[in-house]
Amino acid sequence: MKITNQIIENHGLKASEFENIKKLLKRDPNLLELGIFSAMWNEHCSYKSSRLHLKKLYTKGKQVIQGPGENAGVIDIGDNDAIVFKIESHNHPSYIEPYQGAATGVGGILRDVFTMGARPIALLNSIHFGSPSHPKTKSLLNGVVSGIGGYGNCIGIPTVAGETKFDETYNENKLVNAMAVGLAKKDKIFYSKAKGINKSVVYVGSKTGRDGIHGASMASAEFDENTEDKKPTVQVGDPFTEKLLMEACLELMKDNSIISIQDMGAAGLTSSSVEMASKGSLGMELDLDKVPCREKNMTPYEMMLSESQERMLLILEDDKEKDAKKIFDKWDLDFMVIGKTTNTNNLTLKFNGKIEGEIPIEALASKAPIYDRKWVRKKISKNKINLKDLKKINMEEALVKILSSPNHSNKSWITNQYDQSVMCDTAQKSGSDAAIIRIHGKDKAIAVSVDSSANYCKSHPLTGGKQIVCENWRNLITAGAKPLAITNCLNFGNPENENIMGEFAECLEGIREACEFLNYPVVSGNVSFYNGTNQKNINPTPVIGGVGLINKLSKPISHNFKKDKNIIILVGKTFGHLEQSCFLRENYRIFDGMPPDINLLNEKNNGENVLKLIQNKLILSSHDISDGGLILALCEMSISSSYGAIIKKPQKLTNLLEYFFGEDQGRYLLEVEPSNLTKVEKSLKDSNIYYENIGFTQKDYFEIEGELKINIKDLFKINNEWYNNY
């Protein structure tokens, strides 16, 4: 078949890239080879627009066993235990086919984790939808939530935390980011690097079908009016088969049979074989006649590009095939030796006794394009918001508006669809700042959280990047955990647009700066570009997933008030920053201005000392202050308990709206028993930390002296109002 310009374009390749392919091959590619280049050179697999910037991230630390570059990151939590975790996007598939897109996103991230030798112990997610009034939002929301719950519940992994947000920027491009966390032994981590010549390359799992072909390429392009035509590119998942595959792989990992292992995710058999061979500086020869297929007359092109789910590629030690096959037979899974490693440094594909394709491995991997795209810094907004210029609103009105809004209303109607307790190690479910998972059979635990802040990142990407790392760090602190490392999912628009590329570069700069200062390294992640439709792009939405360690878990600390007449301490200074606040968004539809400043020294000092207070059992409850400011944080602590609060008016900041709704960073709320107040205050003073005694807990009512008084039951009703009417 002659390769035409239209065929090249249909494969998502530019004319210049095609010319480069010809130079690398020293000839024209055939259709199979073109398809393979298309899969490996697309944005999703090659990171061609982001690689230069990703190299700048802070990825080191004594706790890091494996950083970026493998299926997932690995950190040391002591006692020969390791945590394996990663977050990835499944944005494009989930918009086209919400249920299967979300479900296979969960399945894919789980494989990334158990491929490393870890048993998955928790799932998290970050999902963003368009305006609730948009005609597609309700069906997309229902489909995605059902897909996440359906897959996770069936495979038996608890979905313990996440976030759901709404904004019109996602009307035509919603985001579905899935995170998985697993537990492994430090000395039993498995990697994807191929080793040795003439080693058996083994296909295991489900059979290959025609679903998901060109899925990776689809995820590397903007949508247009023909979006619905891309449904065949969406994979179809089977959680029951994934469960069998997980158990079979973990069983095989108990001996010394596996040299390397790689899941068949984006680009399927193509990416798994190329990545394994590339990392080992080897070649690989595949006999495609031996690939288990569930459909008749599949071509080499279809087999190599299919993204059928629940499949793995293994390289085994000599004479281990027979014993390995017994395990996969027991679990009723396909097991087939389909090739071998070679010293040719080529990917050689045979079919019907003929060589159908032969490509240098380095041409697909190390020599894939790397673009240093033009980018510009965000111009600093000079629009200053003056409350005096706005329509007057009283505090209760403003609070009700926020509490009843889609983004701040109770989300239990979502989380109740997820099994949060299966495996019986969930010590704290979603609803607090972070979920807590016990390390089975031990007294230690991990805390996990996911966070994003698209509004801050849009207004000032550098500050927004720093902020979202700090917020995630604070969420782990309030759970009593020492933050150890993060994974990130970087969701942006078209990188060929210099403004959007600027948002990406500056956000990464902010993430790097915060991670390095806090010693909070990035160990894994994912970049999702081209989240746009007809040249209308989403707001920059980096998502941070964090993991922290609790050395001794007695009783988990949560954010709900515990007792009557306890002291409420506000840690950190309040300046009353309202620009980019949800107060202005929800009450005035104002989106101008700069996000609040990030003082990394204060973040570190305040957080480390709050953690010390929690570890010394001087704090009954804790909550970080972020979106919505002080008043929303107080209401969340009240709604989740049977206790409210009575809060004093501030003495130094006279504008009450600024004080209570301002979103100044680095702040915490602490509930302290009167008997421990002296110790707490001394600890804060000794560390030169600013704090205020702002009030105390009380029964039944949330109250700000002289301004408002609301029954906790009424607050709860207000907080549930949006969903009940949606």
d(CA 560, CA 714): 17
What CA–CA distances, in Å, run from 615 to 58, 364, 477, 618?
Answer: 27, 50, 10, 8
Element of type H or E holding 398: helix 395-403
What's the distance, Cα to Cα, between the start and end of the chain in Å?
54
Q: Apex CA 323: angle with CA 319 and CA 329, to 5°?
A: 135
Strands (E), 564-677: 567-571, 621-624, 643-647, 668-672
d(CA 260, CA 351): 25
Alpha-helical (H) ranges within 656-726 are: 656-661, 677-686, 712-725
Residue type at 98? P
Contact indicator for 593, 457 with CB cutoff of 8 Å: no
Residue 559 is a catalytic residue: no
What CA–CA distances, in Å, run from 160 to 31, 99, 123, 176, 422?
Answer: 45, 19, 6, 16, 10
What CA–CA distances, in Å, run from 659 to 397, 488, 582, 652?
Answer: 16, 32, 14, 10
Contact indicator for 140, 173 with CB cutoff of 8 Å: no
The single residue listed with the structure tokens 């941070």 is: 544
d(CA 341, CA 446): 39
Q: What interhelical angle do 498-518 and 600-615 show, nearest 10?
A: 50
| Annotated catalytic residue, options 53, 90, 214, 460 | 90
Residue 44 is a catalytic residue: yes
| Annotated catalytic residue, options 11, 44, 408, 559 | 44
Residues recognised as catalytic: 44, 90
